Chains A and B, each alone.
Chain A
Amino acid sequence: MAETTVSPATQTEKEEWFGKKERKLLVDPIDNDNPVTVQVLGVCSALAVTTMVEPALIMAISVTLVTGFSNLIISLMRKGIPKQIRMIVQLVVIAFLVTVVEQVLKAYNYEVWNKLSVFIGLSITNCIVMGRLEAYAMANKPWRSFLDGIGNGAGYGLILIIIAVIREITGKGALMGFKIIGPSADYLINTQTSALFGWYQPNGLMVLPASALFLVGILIWIQRSRNRKLVDVS
């Protein structure tokens, strides 16, 4: 579990509502300290939900909410939690929030709930949530912990959505269920009549789970060639 740098200087400085440090907390996890590609947290439930954009989007939003609010709650309680039982306290808080998210989704979008219920349940053990609680919320003030949680959830969501967009367009020729390119008149670009796009074939490999892993591997490759500091030296 990679610890992010939290300088002790933040304690002594004058508290700002939304200063440079706060913005850094939100923006850093989106690229340079991304929970999926740099900290290797939360890959578990990430990859199975990315064949289409809609479930990926819902998963991203629910994980962002859960990380944000669990960070907030644990940070508020951090002085009262005995060290020996902190894992169980954290798990109960996370499980409570995940249950709330799951029940709301079940009430408003039953179809997606049906597909995602196992994976939403798994965000309880999603390492991002636990990892941020341990690394940040246990030692920092509530407002900053909340921002850290939202930032990390967003970084995770961004990776989910990038992968889901690539997989849905190349695998199904669609985006959010809207048909873009394919071999019939239902699609926006009909490959049977269009001379320009006649070469297009939906790629069956992209629908298979394995392609998500290749895409994450390639994303890591791109990110690390851009930012040499992240290269694994071992």
Chain B
Amino acid sequence: MGDLINIFFKSAFIENMVLSYFIGMCSFLAVSKSVKTAVGLGGAVIFVLALTVPINWLISVPILGADGIFKTDLTFLRFILFIATIAASVQLVEMAVEKYSPSLYNALGIFLPLITVNCAILGAALFMVAREYDFAEATVYGIGSGIGWAIAIIAMAAIREKIRYSNVPAPLRGLGIAFILTGLMGIAFMSLMGINPANYLN
């Protein structure tokens, strides 16, 4: 249990996807112009990550692994299968949400299909493989990194809403200042790096 809490805090804060690996930057920069849309996309990303990381674990270890059902190492197929899983689950989620909760569908509407090409989703699946998590750890990792991504994009949107009132040099306005802000946020999050959550659990 302690391990799982550790992984959760690590993935959400200490090794934040956006701020320490720069994964999922495209939509991070494109959709962080207002807090409201950032909350929508953040929620959708948490949901999709919590769903696809465990599914991808089930594909990569019991099916493609050397000790899996085919008894051969098929890991070279994982990119294609991972991205197909992600595309299919996003499509399924979109249809389910549209059917059962039209209000949520309208709120998330345009963001759901965008998530397929959000590097954070595939990135979490690939990191999960690289770090050799087991099923429970992979699930917690998916949820944790989704929450970390959502925190980062909401914070960024809040800063960008405020910075509209500052006098930024014209060539730096918009994209340029967004990059520099992300760098500063990354440095701020680095101060969490020395913390090992396991120390506080026992």
Contacts of B179 on A, CB cut-off 8 Å? 213-214, 216-217, 220
The winner among A213, A218, A234 for most chain B CB atoms within 10 A is A213
- Is A45 in contact with chain B by the CB < 8 A criterion? yes
Cross-chain contact B187 with A124 (CB below 8 angstroms) = no
User: Taking CB as reference atom, which chain B residue is nearest A100?
Assistant: B76
Minimum Cβ distance to chain A for residue B149 (Å): 12
CA distance A124 to B83 in the complex (A): 8
- Is A180 in contact with chain B by the CB < 8 A criterion? no
Known: A122-B126, A232-B174. A210 touches B79 (CB 8 A): no
Cross-chain contact A88 with B84 (CB below 8 angstroms) = yes
Main secondary structure of the interface of B (DSSP, over half): helix
Cross-chain contact A124 with B175 (CB below 8 angstroms) = no
- Is B1 in contact with chain A by the CB < 8 A criterion? no
Cross-chain contact A40 with B172 (CB below 8 angstroms) = no
Known: A217-B172, A220-B179. A209 touches B20 (CB 8 A): yes
Cross-chain contact A87 with B186 (CB below 8 angstroms) = no
Tally of chain A residues near chain B (CB < 8 A): 49
Known: A43-B22, A217-B180. A102 touches B79 (CB 8 A): yes
Cross-chain contact B176 with A43 (CB below 8 angstroms) = no
Q: Which of A88, A121, A211, A224 contacts B87 (CB 8 A)?
A: A88
CA distance A213 to B173 in the complex (A): 15
Known: A44-B24, A130-B117, A212-B22. A224 touches B76 (CB 8 A): no
Minimum Cβ distance to chain B for residue A171 (Å): 15
- Is B4 in contact with chain A by the CB < 8 A criterion? no
Minimum Cβ distance to chain B for residue A213 (Å): 3
Please list the residues of chain A having a beta carbon within 8 angstroms of any beta carbon in chain B. 37, 40-48, 87-88, 91-92, 95-96, 98-99, 102-103, 117-118, 121-122, 124-127, 130, 208-214, 216-218, 220-225, 228, 231-232, 234
Chain A to chain B contacts (Cβ below 8 Å), 15 pairs: A44-B26, A87-B116, A91-B116, A92-B83, A102-B76, A117-B126, A209-B21, A212-B183, A217-B179, A224-B170, A224-B172, A224-B176, A225-B171, A231-B171, A231-B173
Interface pairs A-B: 8 shortest CB-CB: A232-B174, A213-B183, A224-B171, A217-B179, A44-B119, A210-B186, A217-B180, A220-B176
Please list the residues of chain B having a beta carbon within 8 angstroms of any beta carbon in chain A. 20-26, 29-30, 76-77, 79-80, 83-84, 87, 113, 116-119, 121-123, 126-127, 130, 169-180, 182-184, 186-187, 190
